[in-house]
Amino acid sequence: MKIYIDGKTKTVYEKPDGNLILKFKDDVTGEGGQADPGANQVLGAVEGKGRSSLLLSQHFFALLERKGIETHYISADPKENTMEVKRAKPYGQGLEFICRLRAYGSFLRRYGKYARELQPLNHLVEITIKDDDRGDPLINEDTVVELNLMTQEDLAKAKKLTRRATRVVEESLAENGLTLIDIKFEFGSVDGRIVLMDEVSGDCMRVMDHDGDFLAQKDLYRKMFNNDM
């Protein structure tokens, strides 16, 4: 198989049948020496982190599908840290839909004059452009439509799906005594339908335990499945 994309936390391979294979890496992203799932810099590698990402994604994709939210997920191979998915056409070169339940991270850096750390947010949805060189800038809804990245109808569907998917993940975490702070999703088009794509793991969410500590990928896996791998 040939490499389709070599990203920060995954290498994506193209299969002859058109499907894609996502190979999860042990690399961790962060900024200023601190791990941060929303950052664009790779800090280093943590053994077993890639497998945790895969198993969490496998769990959440299956859960989302059971709740009626269509995804590009097909199957997973934990031994190889890989996941097979349908090829989904991204919107533009990629948009990220961030759902915020509490104020933290870049939200506080932008709005710290008005917001306090961890104040509740009512499933607030923000949209960013996938563009490492420009720091994944925010984009407003009018601009998304004006630049023909999405139609107004698809944009409304994606925002609705973002909130639906967030609530599914939030409830699953809460069952294990964990609090979702924020999460980001990507959507693409498969046969003209909007589907949730990429991954759903600690690499795209912030999660806090009952002691108020933020969980790294492997710790999130342990808390969710009571398993030390």
pLDDT tens, residue by residue, 66-121? 999 999 999 999 999 999 999 999 999 999 999 999 999 999 999 999 999 999 99
Share of the chain above pLDDT 70, in %: 92
Neighbours of 93 (CB within 10 A): 9
For residue 166, the surrounding DSSP H or E stretch is helix 152-174
Q: Tens digits of per-residue pLDDT, 201-228? A: 999 999 999 999 999 988 999 999 986 6
CA distances from 48 to 54, 151, 201 (A): 10, 40, 14
* CB contact at 8 A, 81 and 59: no
Q: What local confidence, expressed as pLDDT, does residue 86 receive?
A: 97
User: Cα–Cα distance between 211 and 37 in angstroms, integer?
Assistant: 20
What value does the mean pLDDT of the chain take?
93
Identify the CATH number of the domain in which residue 167 sits.
3.30.470.20
- Is residue 182 over pLDDT 80? yes
Residue with tokens 């890989």: 82
**Does residue 104 sit in the same domain as residue 201?**
yes
Q: What local confidence, expressed as pLDDT, does residue 106 receive?
A: 95
At 70, phi and psi to the nearest 5?
A: -75, 135
- Is residue 32 over pLDDT 90? no
154 located within any domain = yes
Q: What local confidence, expressed as pLDDT, does residue 98 receive?
A: 98
Cα maximum dimension of the chain: 52
Q: What local confidence, expressed as pLDDT, does residue 123 receive?
A: 98
**Does residue 80 sit in the same domain as residue 144?**
no
223 located within any domain = no
227 located within any domain = no
CA distances from 194 to 4, 85, 197 (A): 21, 14, 9
Q: What local confidence, expressed as pLDDT, does residue 179 receive?
A: 98
Neighbours of 162 (CB within 10 A): 23
Of 85, 119, 140, the one marking the end of a domain is: 85
38 located within any domain = yes
- Is residue 229 over pLDDT 90? no
176 located within any domain = yes
> In the chain, how many domains are there?
2
* CB contact at 8 A, 210 and 194: no
Q: 49 is in which domain, residue-wise?
A: 2-85
- Is residue 129 over pLDDT 70? yes
Identify the CATH number of the domain in which residue 80 sits.
3.30.200.20
The distance of Cα 78 from the centroid of its chain, to the nearest Å, equals 19
Q: In what order do the strands lie in the sheet with 34-35?
A: 34-35, 27-31, 41-45
Of 41, 62, 85, the one marking the end of a domain is: 85
